[in-house]
Amino acid sequence: MPLLPLYLKKRGRKNCEYNYNWHERFGVNLKNIIDKPIIWIHAVSVGEIRAAARLIGLIEEKYPQYQILVTQMTPTGRATAKSLYPNVILHYIPYDLPHAVINFYKTFKPKIGLIMETEIWPNLIHYADKYQTPLFLINARLSIKSFRGYNRIRFLLKPILNKFSAILSQDQTTRDNFVKLGFTGQGVVVGNTKFDLNVDNEHFILAKELKQTVGNRKVVIFASTRDGEEKLIIKHIKSQNYLIIIVPRHLERFKLVEQLLLEHKIKYIRRSENKPLSADTQVFLGDSMGEMFMYYAMSDLAVMGGSLNNFGGQNLIEPIFLDKPVIIGPSTYNFAKIAQDAVHDRCAIQVEDIAECFVTIEKLIDSGKLESEGSNEEYKQMVLACKTFSKQFQGASQRTLDFISKYI
């Protein structure tokens, strides 16, 4: 505990938002000014916040007499939630310290708790049981790699896991892995809520306006890039006849990527400058929050960050949902099943490295012709595959709500 303020101060040097709202993180002087009963959803960061969108909408529609509380761990998650959910209470999840967690439950007294994906905090789970808050792990995801790590402490994890009222999994592999870890409670495979997307029309309007300033060039987005990947990308930028969008995963890295662009003498424009793109702009740096759908909408092809270096990949559902063919690198363990299915169904192509990635881009772009009558045939088939891929997996949010409704 004494090291936590030092950690926050260190993070605060890169992102000043870490310097605020410490009382929420440490469970001190918490206040609840809402007199409605609370439904609590914990979504740690941006991906989980977005994945909860449809479910939150369904809960608001079915239970208007309740107030939704959304907790998160990161400032980017908080900013995303603020832009998406104007009617919810936003709060940082308390650190997993007994007094902080106890004060959280005493203050908000949630009727039910929904933990997105794989957030397993012993005190948070233990005191939910003590304060009679039914707790569910929803949209649960446990890859083979994560399972191996958890399996080393299986004897410690088993009693904690079995305090969940139920675990609602994305897929059968996750369900099986939790059983192997010793979970004996209710377990259901409901699918992945990330397929239940609802995109604000404003994103399409902004995308159209920006696309008009690009001219006849096509657009390739490198989405949610991670440490070291931007350097690989920028080294391969030469005289491509398409615009490249780079959107770093974390906002504190925007300046670092801009410095790389300057060092390599790449002509770029930052989104935050709010300037029209010009004919000689090589890179559009996506240094904004909450606009990923806009970036995807103005793109013709998406390359998923986190997959080019060993970070396990990022969410490829969003571009596919918008009918954008996807290129993924060799590292996909965070989204292994979705990546495998997308490659199998020809929504995505997997490459071995950055060099093959750029070769594949050129092959799909076919000298820049992605218009309907002059498109590369493989590209056209991938677009058609995207149109049907997402639909077969949708409905997880409704199935989740149906399951938890008997506890509300």
Catalytic residue among 48, 230, 291, 318: 48
Residue with tokens 């010009």: 278
d(CA 320, CA 341): 12
d(CA 320, CA 163): 36
Strand pairing category for 283-285 and 268-270? parallel
Q: Determine how many CB atoms are found less than 10 A away from the CB of residue 83.
A: 13
d(CA 70, CA 108): 12
229 part of the active site: no
Element (H, E) at 138: strand 135-140
Least Cα distance to 233 among 216, 243, 246 occurs for: 246
Element (H, E) at 331: none
Considering only CA atoms, give the Rg of the chain: 22
d(CA 405, CA 398): 10
Least Cα distance to 382 among 317, 314, 313, 325 occurs for: 325
Q: Catalytic site residues?
A: 48
